[in-house]
Amino acid sequence: MLHLLHKPLEAQKPSRRTFLKMSAGAVGGLIIAAKMPNAAKAAAGADEFVQPFVHIRPDNTVVVLSKHLDKGQGTANGLATLVADELDASHEQIVLALAPSNPQLYANSLFGVQGTGGSTAIPNAFMQYRQAGAAAKAMVVSAAAKEWGVPAGEITISDGVVSHASGKSATLGELAGLAANEDVPAEPALKTPDQWVYIGKSFPRKDVKNKTVGAPNTYTIDFSREGMLTATVARSPRFGGTVKSFNAAEAKKVAGVVDIFQIPNGVAVVAESTWPAIKARDLLEIEWDDSAAETRSTDEMMTELKDMTTKSGLKVREDGDVDAALDASAKVMEIDYDFPFLAHGAMEPLDIVGEFDGETAQFWFGSQIPTIDHNVASTILGIPFEKVSINTLWAGGSFGRRAQGDAHPVSEISFLLKAMREAGMEPRPVKIVWTREDDMAGGYYRPMSAHKIKVGLDGDGNVTAVKYNIAAKSIIKGTAFEPMLMPNGVDHNMTEGASDTTYSFPMMNMDQAFQETPVPVLWWRSVGHTHTAYVMETMIDRIAKETGKDPVALRLELLKDDPRKTNVLKLAAEKAGWDTPLPEGRHRGVAVHKSFGSYVAEVVEISIREDDTVKVEKVVAAVDCGVPVNPDNIRAQVEGGIGYGLGAILRNQVTLSDGYVEETNFDTYESLRMSDMPEIEVHIVPSTDSPTGIGEPGTPPIGPAVANAIAAAKDKWITSLPFTKAGLV
C-alpha cells in the first residue's frame, strides 16, 4: 500500500517544493503565517465581513473557520474561543466551521503545510487566531466610529454589541459590511490576560448540540451528493500483497452493484448504496500476489526486534562510554520490554467522498493533512492543484489514523474516479466506505517495538548510567516527512520521551534500529511516548524499589532541573494524598511525563478483584499545558486520553499469523468500556506560559502508573504488553 503513494509524491514538482518548505522549519513559517490571516480585503459593497479565519454575517452570526481538523479534541471550539474573546463576540453568535484545503491561508505554522497533529492546534494558532479576532474588532470599531462620527477610542464591544456612550449601538452583524471596507490592521492590539472574558474561563463546546441529535452531514459517512455511489474496496489481506487476478461474476449479480474496477491496491465494488457494496465484495474471488507481502507472524517479527536491541544501532543520544560506566557499577539492572501493534480504532471507520468530471475534482472528508492529500489527488488525476478542492468534514475520531503521510484514502478514491472515467461512466460522486474490518485489519498501526535497558547503580543506590536500545519500524522513514523529521537519519518520533528525558542521570546513551516490513505504521495518540513513557516510568519505580526509595521522592530527586515536571508531580501527589494510608485492598502507582510541550502527572488507585484481575478505580491527574485556553476541554482531553491509553494497555494488540491480521473488529480488539472507566480528577496548573498540546499528553502516563500500582500490589512487573498477556485483565 505504501508504494502506491510514494511514487506520485516524488514525481511531482509542487509537492517536492512543499516539502522543502516543510524542512525549512518552524521559524520562517511562523512569521509568514502569523501575518497571513487578514491579507485580503473584502469587496466593497458586500454586507458580509469575510476574512480567512472569521466571517461576520449580516444575520449576526460569527463564523470561525478552524484550519485544523476537529476529530473530537475540541480544536474548532478552542480556536473560536480565541477569536470570540478578542472580538468580544457572544458565545451564542459563534458558529464553528472547518476550513477547506488552502495551504496559503491555512498552513500549520509549525509544519509549513496545512495539517493537524502533534497536539499543535492551539499552540501554533494561539497568536494567529487572537490576531484575527483583534483585527476584526479593530475594523468593526473603526467602521462604527465613521458611521457614528465619534472617536474610535470611545467605542466598546461587549458580548457582541458595539456601543458608544451617546447611546448609539449596533450588532456585529449590522456593521459587518462596513467593517469589511476598513483597512486590515497589521498589528492589532491584543488583550492582556486580565481582559480575557473566555480564555482560561469557560466557552462551552458549540459542536455538542449537533452531536446529541444525530444532525445530518456532520461526518463523512453521513455526507451525500446528488447521484452519489458507494464503494467498498477489497484490499490485500496480507500487507504488501497485490491483485494477481480476480473474478467478479458473482459479485456483479448482486442487485444494486453498478460496476467493479481494479485499482492499484485492490478491487473496488461500486454500488448504488452501502449494503450491496459490502455484500458483493464478499463474493469476489481474488487471487493475491504475495511475493512482496509480509508473511511473518508478529511473534517472529518480535524475535527480530528483540535481537536488534542486543546490538548497537544508530546513535540517538551518546553522553559517554556507557559500557564502561555500567562495568564500573556496583549493580546493573537489565530489563527487556515489548509492545504490540495497536490499531487506532476511531469510532468512525475511514471514509471519503469524491467526484471528478475530467477537469476538476472535489473531495469531502476528515482530511488531517490536506496539503498532502491535495497534491496526491492532483497528481493521480493529472489536473492542476487549483482544480482540486478538499472540503473538510468533522471526523468521528482519528487518534492519528487520518494523518497519513501517504494519503492513501485520497489516493484510492482518485484511482477509482479515474478508472470510472476511463471506463466511460458518466461522472458521479462516489463514497468509499471502510468497514470496521477494513479499518482495523488495514494497518497503519502504532509500531510494535522492543526495548532493552541497562541501569547501573553505585553502592549508595545512585544511578550511574542508563543504556537504552530500541527497535521498531520507523513511522517517518520512507515517507514525505523524512527530509523534515529525520535530517540526520535519526527518527526522534521513536525515541521521544526517553532520549530527551529530564531525569538527571549522570550518563545516558540511546541507540535505535529500524525494522523493515510492509506493514504500514503510523502516529497513534502520543506516538513514541506510548512506549517510552512506559519504559522510563516503570524503570524509575524499579530503581526506587531496588534502592528502597519512595517513587515520588526518587522522581523529585532526579527532576531537580525540571521545575514544571516537579510541580505537576507534587500537585498530583498532594491531591491524591500520596502520603496517606489507603483502604484495604487498594494500591497506588504514579507516573509523570512531558509530551507535546505539556507536563502531566497521574496517580492511580487500583484494586485487585477476587479473580486476581485489576480494576483501575481512580486517577488523579495534574496538568501544566501553559495558558489553559478552555479548562473544561482540557479536563475532557485528559479524561479521554487516560481512557484511550488505559484501554490499550489493558487488552489491545494487533497480531499477525502468517501475515494475516487476527484482530479485525471490537470483538477481538476489545475497547475500554464503561465498567472499565476509572473516576478521574484533573487539576490544571494556572500558567501564563504559551499554551502547549493537550490532545495527547494525558495518554502516556496512565500505562506506567497502573503498572507501578500493580507492582506495588503484587510485586509483579509487566514488561510485555498488553496486560491480558499477564492474565491481569
- Under a CB-based contact definition with an 8 Å cutoff, are residues 378 and 388 in contact? yes
CB of 404 to other proteins, least distance (A): 18
151 exposed, middle or buried (CB, 10 Å; 0-12, 13-18, 19+)?
A: exposed
The residue among 16 and 436 lying less far from ligand FES, judged by its C-beta, is 436
Q: Residue 499 corresponds to which amino acid? A: S
The residue among 343 and 544 lying less far from ligand FES, judged by its C-beta, is 343
What is the SS3 assignment for 299?
A: helix
The residue among 402 and 555 lying less far from other proteins, judged by its C-beta, is 402
Give the chain's largest Cα–Cα span: 83
Residue 617 site contact among other proteins, ligand FES, none (CB < 5 to 8 Å, cut-off depends on kind): none
Residue 32 site contact among other proteins, ligand FES, none (CB < 5 to 8 Å, cut-off depends on kind): none
The residue among 125 and 346 lying less far from ligand FES, judged by its C-beta, is 346
CB of 72 to ligand FES, least distance (A): 5
Residue 192 site contact among other proteins, ligand FES, none (CB < 5 to 8 Å, cut-off depends on kind): none
What is the SS3 assignment for 600?
A: strand
Q: Residue 308 corresponds to which amino acid? A: M
The residue among 597 and 643 lying less far from ligand FES, judged by its C-beta, is 643
> Is residue 150 a contact residue for ligand FES (CB under 6 A)?
no
The residue among 308 and 433 lying less far from other proteins, judged by its C-beta, is 433
What's the DSSP call for residue 724? G
Residue 504 site contact among other proteins, ligand FES, none (CB < 5 to 8 Å, cut-off depends on kind): none
What is the SS3 assignment for 343?
A: coil
CA–CA gap between residue 501 and residue 592 (Å, rounded): 11
Give how far Cα 68 sits from Cα of 96, 227, 309, 386, 719, Å. 12, 30, 38, 20, 37
Beta-strand pair 314-318/508-514: antiparallel
CB of 606 to other proteins, least distance (A): 17
The residue among 194 and 610 lying less far from other proteins, judged by its C-beta, is 610
Residue 409 site contact among ligand FES, other proteins, none (CB < 5 to 8 Å, cut-off depends on kind): none
CB of 455 to ligand FES, least distance (A): 39
Cell of 714: 503484587
Residue 395 site contact among other proteins, ligand FES, none (CB < 5 to 8 Å, cut-off depends on kind): other proteins
The residue among 429 and 456 lying less far from other proteins, judged by its C-beta, is 429
Q: For 506-657, where are the E strands, in sequence order?
A: 508-514, 586-595, 598-608, 614-624, 656-657
The residue among 104 and 273 lying less far from ligand FES, judged by its C-beta, is 273
Q: Minimal CB distance to ligand FES: which residue?
A: 347
> Is residue 26 a contact residue for ligand FES (CB under 6 A)?
no
Cell of 460: 549508595
CB of 68 to other proteins, least distance (A): 14
What is the SS3 assignment for 106?
A: helix
The residue among 236 and 664 lying less far from ligand FES, judged by its C-beta, is 664
CB of 272 to other proteins, least distance (A): 8
- Under a CB-based contact definition with an 8 Å cutoff, are residues 504 and 226 in contact? no
- Under a CB-based contact definition with an 8 Å cutoff, are residues 229 and 431 in contact? yes
Residue 142 site contact among ligand FES, other proteins, none (CB < 5 to 8 Å, cut-off depends on kind): none
Cell of 312: 548497537
Q: Residue 627: which of 205, 63, 198, 187 has the closest Cα?
A: 198
- Under a CB-based contact definition with an 8 Å cutoff, are residues 466 and 455 in contact? yes
Q: Footprint of ligand FES on residues 236-275 (CB under 6 A)?
A: none
The residue among 123 and 397 lying less far from ligand FES, judged by its C-beta, is 397
CA–CA gap between residue 372 and residue 481 (Å, rounded): 10
Cell of 255: 442487485
The residue among 244 and 615 lying less far from other proteins, judged by its C-beta, is 615
CB of 347 to ligand FES, least distance (A): 4
The residue among 52 and 643 lying less far from other proteins, judged by its C-beta, is 643
Q: Residues 619-658 vs ligand FES: string with x where CB under 6 A?
A: ----------------------------------------
Q: 624 pairs with which residues across the strands? A: 599
What is the SS3 assignment for 406?
A: coil
Residue 644 site contact among ligand FES, other proteins, none (CB < 5 to 8 Å, cut-off depends on kind): other proteins
Residue 291 site contact among other proteins, ligand FES, none (CB < 5 to 8 Å, cut-off depends on kind): none
What is the SS3 assignment for 335?
A: strand
What is the SS3 assignment for 63?
A: strand
CB of 179 to ligand FES, least distance (A): 37
CB of 630 to other proteins, least distance (A): 10
CB of 273 to other proteins, least distance (A): 4
Q: Footprint of ligand FES on residues 456-515 (CB under 6 A)?
A: none
> Is residue 397 a contact residue for ligand FES (CB under 6 A)?
yes
Chain residues that interact with other proteins, rule: CB under 8 A: 71-74, 204-205, 207-219, 221-222, 224, 230, 255, 273-276, 278-279, 345-349, 394-399, 433, 435-436, 632-633, 636-637, 639-644, 646-647, 665-667, 671-675, 677-680
CB of 348 to other proteins, least distance (A): 5
332, containing H or E segment: strand 331-339
The residue among 134 and 280 lying less far from other proteins, judged by its C-beta, is 280
Among 8, 29, 52, 72, binds ligand FES (CB under 6 A): 72
CB of 99 to other proteins, least distance (A): 18
CB of 436 to ligand FES, least distance (A): 8
CB of 396 to ligand FES, least distance (A): 6
3-state SS record for 119-167: CCHHHHHHHHHHHHHHHHHHHHHHHHHHHHCCCHHHCEEECCEEECCCC
The residue among 37 and 74 lying less far from other proteins, judged by its C-beta, is 74
CA–CA gap between residue 623 and residue 703 (Å, rounded): 17
CA–CA gap between residue 671 and residue 667 (Å, rounded): 9
How many Cβ atoms are within 10 Å of 585's Cβ, its own excluded?
11
Site size with ligand FES, rule: CB under 6 A = 3
Residue 633 site contact among other proteins, ligand FES, none (CB < 5 to 8 Å, cut-off depends on kind): other proteins
6 φ, ψ (degrees, to nearest 5): -65, -30
**Helices marked H in 331-485:** 370-381, 408-422, 436-440, 482-485
The residue among 182 and 639 lying less far from other proteins, judged by its C-beta, is 639
User: Taking the alpha carbons of 571, 575, 580, 582 in that order, is the dihedral positive or negative?
Assistant: negative
CA–CA gap between residue 107 and residue 24 (Å, rounded): 14
How many Cβ atoms are within 10 Å of 689's Cβ, its own excluded?
12
Among all chains, which residue has been given the C-alpha cell 483501575? 616
Q: Residue 573 corresponds to which amino acid? A: A
In this structure, what is the dihedral angle of CA atoms 433, 435, 437, 440, given to the nearest 10 degrees? 60
First to last CA, the chain: 35
CB of 563 to ligand FES, least distance (A): 35
CA–CA gap between residue 281 and residue 260 (Å, rounded): 9
CB of 349 to other proteins, least distance (A): 7
CB of 615 to ligand FES, least distance (A): 22
Q: Residues 332-351 vs ligand FES: string with x where CB under 6 A?
A: ---------------x----
The residue among 29 and 397 lying less far from ligand FES, judged by its C-beta, is 397
How many Cβ atoms are within 10 Å of 667's Cβ, its own excluded?
8
Residue 208 site contact among ligand FES, other proteins, none (CB < 5 to 8 Å, cut-off depends on kind): other proteins
Residue numbers at the binding site for ligand FES (CB under 6 A): 72, 347, 397
